[in-house]
Each structure stands twice: as structure tokens, then as C-alpha cells.
Amino acid sequence: MEELKEHIRKTGTTTVGIVCKDGIVLAADKKGTFGGSSGVSYIAGTKEEKIQKVNDRLVVTTAGVASDLQKVIKLTRAELKLKELKSKKLPSMKESANLFSAVVYQNIRQFSPILGITHFLLAGFDDEDFALYNVFPDGYVEKIEDYSATGSGMMQCDSILDAEYKENISIQEGLALAIKCITAAMKRDPATGAGIDVYLITKDRINQEIGQEIKTEYPDLKSIRKK
């Protein structure tokens, strides 16, 4: 079993969600790793897409076991489409978050020799407004009013967010803050690195603002350019 755990692909990860007055910023690094209880044993990839598009109005960050992350996203994407077809209307952000949490809850409670740990930040918009939700590995769901960080680099991010986040922050200020958080995690967390993806979510659209692979694990903020 221990030998098997060393070959489980994980996203390692640092992901950040920041609620701004005019939208939401989602950011994540791009390193994928193999590793067990001892930590990172091998870098599996440097071009991971840790922010996944669920539909035209919803994106999620991913942290945890890669295969379970894929499974949960695929199941939820299908269930949201079925719900849309049956009700003839698009699901609200609250409905989407609750469905995600239900799938995560069922996934982690299925008997398996490999624990299906997944952690998501959901950001999107509906007919009312944009919103950010945190779906924890046990299926607990929480609406976020300010900011949240997940993954192995969250400790580096939390201290920065606690100190520098302010009410009514603009989305451009949130963008700079998210980059600072991911950069700090790259310098201290061995499972975080290889680059950064950033998405901006407003009341009517989702845009990828940055998609940048970084060769060094100690990037300068100036090396990150708008896509």
C-alpha cells in the first residue's frame, strides 16, 4: 500500500480565490507531483491546468488526488447539464456549489484503498451576481465573502491575504495580490511551482488573464506577463 501511495498523482498545489468589488480572482500554480505520506517524491508535470472550466458560467480550482478531481468535475458537469435540461433554466451559483459538495461528499465516503481527497474553490456568476464558494474535502460547502486559499502552499498565502486584503478591493488589485500569494508559495512549498494561471470572473464573463509557465521556482513578478 505504501508503494502504491508513492505513485498516486496529486496536484500538490496552491490555489487562491479573492472576492473583489467588481469580480473574483482565481489563481493556481502549474506543478503536478507524485508522492505519499512522506511528501513530494517526483515532479509529474509542469503544465497542469489546476483551474478547470465547468461550463460557461463556472470555473473551479483543484487540489488533491488528480484522478478524483477529474471524476468529481466530470460528474458535476454532467449533473448540472441534466439539471439545466430538466428545469429549462441555468442553475444558480448556490445550486452549483451544493451539487459540487454532494458529489465530493459521496466520493470521499466510498470504500477505497486510496482516499479520494479533493478540494475546490468555485467561482462564477448567475443571473444575480458573481460568487465564490469553498468546497472542502469532506463535502462541506461555504460561501466566501473575502478570500480563501487551498493546497499545500496555503500557509504562505494566508499570512499575505490576512495582512493585505481590504474591503472593496478592485479586481486589478486582487490580481496583483493573487500573483504575490502564488509567488510566495513557489518559494517555500516544494509541491508548488512551474507557473501560474489566473482567471477573472465578473458579472457576465470568465476570462483567463494569465497562463504562464515559469522555468525557475523563484520567479520575479516582472516575469509574469498578461496572456
Beta sheet of 51-55, edge-to-edge order: 51-55, 58-64, 118-125, 130-135, 141-144
Residues 6+ apart with CB under 8 A from 195: 29, 30, 31, 46, 47, 212, 213, 214
The letter for the amino acid at 1 is: M
Instruction: Calculate the CA dihedral of residues 204, 73, 194, 137 and round it to 10 degrees.
Output: 110
The letter for the amino acid at 151 is: G
d(CA 227, CA 133): 26
Closest by CA to 150, choosing from 116, 187, 176, 117, is 117
Q: From the candidates 11, 13, 33, 118, which is the catalytic residue?
A: 13
Displacement of CA 32 from its chain's centroid (Å): 13
Check if the beta carbon of residue 151 is closer than 8 Å to that of residue 13.
Answer: yes
| Per-residue b or e along 190-200, where b marks 16 or more CB atoms closer than 10 Å to that residue's CB | bbbbbbbbbbb
Check if the beta carbon of residue 156 is closer than 8 Å to that of residue 178.
Answer: no
The verdict on whether 202 is a catalytic residue reads no
Which helix (H) or strand (E) segment is 16 a member of? Answer: strand 14-20
Residues marked as catalytic: 13
